[in-house]
Amino acid sequence: MSVLFGMELSASASALHTYVVNHFGHPIHEEVEHGWSRDRKGRSQVRPDGVPVITINAATGRTEDNVEHELHHLYLRTEGFPFLGVQGGNEITKQFLGNLFCSIEHSIFFPEMRAQGFDLDIMLRNDCQEAHAENGCLSGFDLYQRAAWYFSVVLETEDENLKQSIDQWFEENDTEALARGRRMVDARFRKGQSLSAADAVQALVECSNICFEPTFTFQLADWRYSKRGNHNQHIAIIAVHQH
Ligand SMILES: [Zn+2]
């Protein structure tokens, strides 16, 4: 069995780990971060020299599901899932693109993690309870943030009760954000459960256009490649236009 961050991984996580290490040709570099907020649990990257890196939050990230989660993100890199290169727009649209693409990746591998017995809805249920509270984050969000929030949570959960309570909050508080969020979820799932890298980027562009209409439009402008050690990193260039 593979060991990461001092934890022995399950058989399926070990297989994933071995695959990733063979692809990159380097062991995974382990980093522990002490300065992150508690809700940020982990991150994965590929260094310019091709070394894959997983960083975990010292306070909240040393769990099997978090490490396996980051292994799945690295696995998607091996399948040609890109980094995003964003042209135009602003810091907000850039951050949105990153977050939405992360959620789309989650919608690909969460079913697999659920099949292995991880309860991925515990955290989502807590987040939603806080978000729905009177002074929760949703109350301060604008239309775009609310639509994107809806998209992420509904994409990632399989808890029907949770979905219902989210719909109810939006029906009472923001039907426009609900309509956009639903169209975004539809656009993602029209392409099927498991996506190729190209489909995932296409879904990202469609969802971003729905979220931000009519203020910003998004377009896939180019695919680029950069050699990182053994790894051929794909980069999707997304052009953002403000109207
Ligand atoms: Zn993730």
Residues 6+ apart with CB under 8 A from 167: 178
Give me ligand 1 centre to Cα 88, in Å.
25
Give me ligand 1 centre to Cα 101, in Å.
9
Q: Dihedral (C-alpha) 66, 67, 72, 74: value to the nearest 10 degrees? A: 130
- Residue-wise pLDDT tens digits, 167-194: 999 999 999 999 999 999 999 999 888 8
Q: Are 25 and 230 in contact (CB under 8 A)?
A: yes
Given a cut of 90, whether residue 132 has pLDDT beyond it is no
**In b/e form, how buried is each residue of 75-104, taking b as 16+ CB within 10 angstroms?**
bbbbeebbeeebebbeeebbebbeebbebb
Per-residue confidence (pLDDT) for residue 147, from 0 to 100: 97
Give me ligand 1 centre to Cα 243, in Å.
31
* Nearest residue to 45 via CA among 36, 35, 55, 37: 55
- Residue-wise pLDDT tens digits, 69-80: 999 999 999 999
Give me ligand 1 centre to Cα 71, in Å.
9
Give me ligand 1 centre to Cα 49, in Å.
23
The dihedral sign for the CA sequence 22, 25, 27, 29: negative
Give me ligand 1 centre to Cα 177, in Å.
24
**Cα–Cα dist 111/106, whole Å:** 9
Per-residue confidence (pLDDT) for residue 130, from 0 to 100: 85
Give me ligand 1 centre to Cα 102, in Å.
6
Give me ligand 1 centre to Cα 121, in Å.
14
- Residue-wise pLDDT tens digits, 6-40: 999 999 999 999 999 999 999 999 999 999 998 89
For the record, the structure tokens of 215 come out as 């203020």
Per-residue confidence (pLDDT) for residue 225, from 0 to 100: 97
